[in-house]
Structure 1
């Protein structure tokens, strides 16, 4: 849950999208995360989001394969990763370089949510 809170804080913060070309891509990814209805854990997946300046994702997004095409999600996530990586390079942005493990996703109360799936 802590990683989910960090991701939400980052995704909502202006500092995480200071380069604005990535705003549309991030908006599309957020929409897929909000529309994550599910009937089972098998429909829930995660995708890494963004890029830390020293490597690795800034966070993860849970989404539902019942509502979103995994290939489209991967395409948008890769576009967003490249945008964030380029923005980091241009700005000289530093990050905490902390490794963020994939928290997995589980179907909870009919919606895919981060966490829990890897612990089962």
Structure 2
């Protein structure tokens, strides 16, 4: 059995820190760029709430996760698919910060 890469532990810590991302207002909701892609940029985004999460601690963990992913990419020779993932933004829906999902009329 192959051990989990260090990045999986860091991602678990990030998710635990974010928790349920509770919010009462959209201004409390933010996005966090997660990890790294071989061609540059983040591999994903996570919605989080400044009402219940320490942003500075979260930023430190996110940078640690990014560095771990960069090391994994370098070690594995993972190739880029050249896709760009734009920041979707975050909204407060039903008391929880969520990634903004464009509606059917979005361009």
Scaled by the length of structure 1, the TM-score of the pair is: 0.77
Q: Is residue 57 from structure 1 mapped to residue 42 from structure 2 by the alignment?
A: yes
Structure of greater Rg: 2
1:74 corresponds in structure 2 to 59
Q: How much does 1:77 deviate?
A: 0.6
Structure with more of its chain in helix, by fraction: 1
1:30 aligns with 2:30: no
Distance of 1:38 and 1:32 partners within structure 2:
15
Per-residue deviation, 1:23: 1.8
CA distance in structure 2 between the aligned counterparts of 1:92 and 1:36, rounded to whole angstroms? 35
Who is 1:112 aligned against?
A: 97
Match of 2:82 in 1: 97
Q: Give the paired residue count.
A: 101
Q: Which consecutive unaligned segments of at least 5 residues does structure 2 have?
A: none
Q: Structure 1 residues 95, 22: CA separation in 2 closer, same or farther (over 3 Å shift)?
A: same
State how far apart, in whole Å, the 1-side matches of 2:82 and 2:38 are. 8
SS at match of 1:26: helix
Shift of 1:34: 3.7
TM-score (structure 2 length as normaliser): 0.86
**2:28 is aligned with 1:43:** yes
Equivalent runs, 1:83-94 vs 2, <5 Å: 83-94=68-79
